[in-house]
Structure 1
């Protein structure tokens, strides 16, 4: 494992760490049967029945996995 040759100063350490930022996920708004849902793009969507019971996961209109 690589080790630093000299001790890194506190200001350099904190300025390096401050570059890491959390990003807000981009959500896609879809309307199905009058119900508005938000989902992440390029992710499988959970399909539920009228009672809210999860049935399966769907991607691009195809069933990809059981719930």
Structure 2
């Protein structure tokens, strides 16, 4: 159920200045070197392992297979 109704009107200036504090954070990427190429990936996320044709084989995390695709 919703909270209590407002006790008084909030001005447009206060509302907008409060909303202005919400900011989108940039995505953190880590650089790793694989087969002589620098690959950027998100930390703490499983990545998809593909074969030479580009077929997705499985998900890998910290060098271990964690799930089938």
User: Shared topology, TM-score over 0.5?
Assistant: yes
Please say if 1:61 is aligned against 2:63: yes
Whole-angstrom CA distance in 2 between matches of 1:65 and 1:25: 24
**SS of residue paired to 1:22:** coil
State the TM-score, normalizing by the size of structure 1.
0.89
* Correspondent of 1:35 among 12, 34, 37: 37
What stretches of structure 1 move > 3 A for 4+ residues in a row?
none
Aligned alpha-carbon RMSD (Å): 1.1
Q: For structure 2, list consecutive stretches of 5 or more residues without a partner in the other structure.
A: none
Deviation at 1:36, TM superposition (A): 2.2
Question: Which runs of 5 or more residues in structure 1 are unaligned?
Answer: none
Q: Is 2:5 the partner of 1:16?
A: no
Count of aligned pairs = 67
